[in-house]
Amino acid sequence: MKRRIAVFASGSGTNFEAIVRACADGRIDAECALMVCDKPGAKVIERAEQWGVESFVFSPRDYRSKADFEAEIVRRLDEAQVELVCLAGYMRIVGEVLLSAYEGRIINLHPALLPSFKGAHAIEQAFEAGVKVFGVTIHYVDSSLDGGAIIDQRAFYSDGESHERVEERIHQTEHALYPEVIAKLLNSKQ
């Protein structure tokens, strides 16, 4: 049986699609068994349908607590026999239920060079700080905000480019680096 991963996303899903495409063309020797989304109506849901990937879409307010919806996520991950969880624009902090069930098996893509510029507005913070080197980080998820052990980073120099151009280059970097890192992680854990 092929290795099985899950991708969590909250928005448009371009990184989800980059991962699924890498699985389809053999750059990642695995299949995306589940897409988890906390925003009904997000574009990533449509992308998952187009790629034939099973989805679990939920609204957090339909649950009594974070622990309740995370217990449901864990049940679905276990059911799908997922071994690696890849956060790709999932705009929710992972809680104790999910962290303890998948400890050491949850990774995140962050659009800045950690440990600088943690949180949801990293690109804007980097721009406001006037940095000339931008990049992305892939790291393990722990209980801290964007603070887990760094797996890989890729940087690029930018001087005078518009915010939109820098953001575009960050997305291009993410789409290349994340599938590479996922493939390496899966290969190292065979």
* Residues classed as catalytic: 110
SS3 readout for 103-121:
CCCEEEEECCCCCCCCCCC
The label of the residue with tokens 């699985």 reads: 23
Coil, strand or helix at 140: strand
**What are 80's two structure tokens?**
């799908």
DSSP per position, 64-111? S-HHHHHHHHHHHHHHTT--EEEESS--S---HHHHHHTTT-EEEEES
**Residue 126, CA distances (Å) to 122, 165, 176 in order:** 6, 14, 21
Task: Report the candidate in 36, 33, 34 with the shortest Cα–Cα distance to residue 9.
Answer: 36
Coil, strand or helix at 37: strand
**What are 187's two structure tokens?**
């290969």
